[in-house]
Amino acid sequence: MANPEHMEIQQDIENYKTTAGKVSLVDREAKQHMEDYSAGVRHYDKEEYELAIDFLERALKGYYSEDEDCQIMCEGPQRFEEHEYLEYKAGLYEAIADHYMQVLACKHDCVRELATRSGRISPIENFLPLHYDYLQFAYYRVGDYVKALECAKSYLLFHPDDEDVLENAGYYEGLLEGTMDPDTIKPRKNYWNRYGARQDEHSVPSSISSEPEDGPRLSLAKKPMPKPDRELKEGGPLLYSDVKFVYNSQQLNGTQRVLLDNVISEEQCRELHRVASGIMLAGDGYRGKTSPHTPNERFEGATVLKALKYGYEGRVPLKSARLFYDISEKARRIVESYFMLNSTLYFSYTHLVCRTALSGQQERRNDLSHPIHADNCLLDPEANECWKEPPAYTFRDYSALLYMNADFEGGEFIFTEMDAKTVTASIKPKCGRMISFSSGGENPHGVKAVTKGQRCAVALWFTLDPLYRELERIQADEVIAMLDQEHLGPSEMNINPKDEL
């Protein structure tokens, strides 16, 4: 339930069902108010507004009940977290003060606890106000303008300066004029009056809107796509005259995206492919799991250090092994320059990978070669969130894929919306083509099924934090330095093998 995109667990569950016969699986950690909220949002997205209202209202009732229980439980004995219990010494008034500070901290944590899905660490941002945001528009669409105004005013208790909802409230008031006094419609009292003006600390105002035919701009209660926490730039020099610019972020319908051609030549693609066939290991990078993403394909990979090791031992041509090192450095420099980064971009992981369609398993196939995901956070389409927490590689900042061939069927790279369904851009791989993008939740992506042949690419992940530099890359730098000292031939691409420190 915490990782709905995890293919292997899904397959394991299906196997367990088959083995055990007809069974009904129950999530013992599910929170009913959260289940109702998710169901309400799903109906809202399908424009089934009456059903959305039923589930969202039920979710609100469940939230208030759970919150009251949580508040009551906080009134009991508390552990003094900042003091060793057996050595704790305090006077009467100090002990009373410490106790009630713990009670207040506990009550404050109820907000976080109720907004956190089972299996997650981080809460859903703006969780309680979002109920009212969805409801105000849903009630409008079913023609209940009184309830729409009531929910809009309730939302504004949390975010009084939200321009979209303020405009919505004004519009609802206009619809009610002549039939009743809009000033008599008040925000809902149950939560606000009972606990005071307690703010939801994880708040992001609603900001994506639409314009219905019969009214002004109305907030659709949709949260904006996540954005990187740094200044966004792009359009810097590509550094190499042969590299051809194809599309930028706007043309790819997203943020921090670029598509380039001719990053490497046809001959370099062929040479790299020959190296791959000699060094790749099935399941490399996935603890030997030969089909980590789909049972319908075989996955193989190799790192840059392994390529250099094989080259040094004479198992593959050293020149070809070094090509893998050099073109990955070339890609790093291009990404760093194009996105106009003001600090050094370091390798986080470098992987030469091939996906091969398994014969006899392609009929009626409806899965992906690589499910939709983000590279530095856990994508949660139902919550419209990308959780930047372990086990995600939260330190990754930019990603790139450099393709080596086109002689296969399927395998298109796709970007999607946060729902992991709506495709915003599709890219057909070919030799020398490179797609690069920021690694966060603003860029959910995946790979369509490879239905025939083998699809190969150099996968690259980068970080701006030197603490998370790829260890094998540092070792590969040392191998290159040693080879240069032994006069085994400087790189034809004239690239400094050392990352800048």
Residues tagged active-site? 455
Is it true that the peptide bond before 391 is cis, omega within 30 degrees of 0? yes
148-to-136, 210, 392 alpha-carbon distances in Å: 4, 16, 39
Token output for 134: 């969805």
Query: Reduced to 3 DSSP states, what percent helix, strand and coil does the chain have, rounded to the nearest 5?
Result: 40, 20, 45
Length of the chain: 501
What is d(CA 472, CA 347) in angstroms, rounded to the nearest whole number?
A: 10
Query: From the CB of residue 174, how many other CB atoms can be counted at a distance below 10 Å?
Result: 13
* Element holding 64 (H helix, E strand): helix 49-73
Token output for 94: 């100090």
**Strands 257-261, 385-387: parallel, antiparallel or unpaired by DSSP?**
unpaired
**Strands 218-222, 208-210: parallel, antiparallel or unpaired by DSSP?**
antiparallel
- Give yes or no for a contact between 292 and 299, defined as CB atoms under 8 angstroms apart: yes
376-396: buried (b, 16+ CB within 10 Å) or exposed (e) per residue?
Answer: bbbbbbbbbbbbbeeebbbbb
What's the gap between Cα 325 and its chain centre?
A: 29
Task: With H, G, I as helix, E, B as strand and everything else as coil, classify residue 390.
Answer: coil
What's the gap between Cα 437 and its chain centre?
A: 13
Query: From the CB of residue 357, how many other CB atoms can be counted at a distance below 10 Å?
Result: 24
Dihedrals phi, psi of 42, to nearest 5 degrees: -65, -45
Amino acid identity of residue 172, one-letter, is Y
Residue with tokens 């003001």: 342
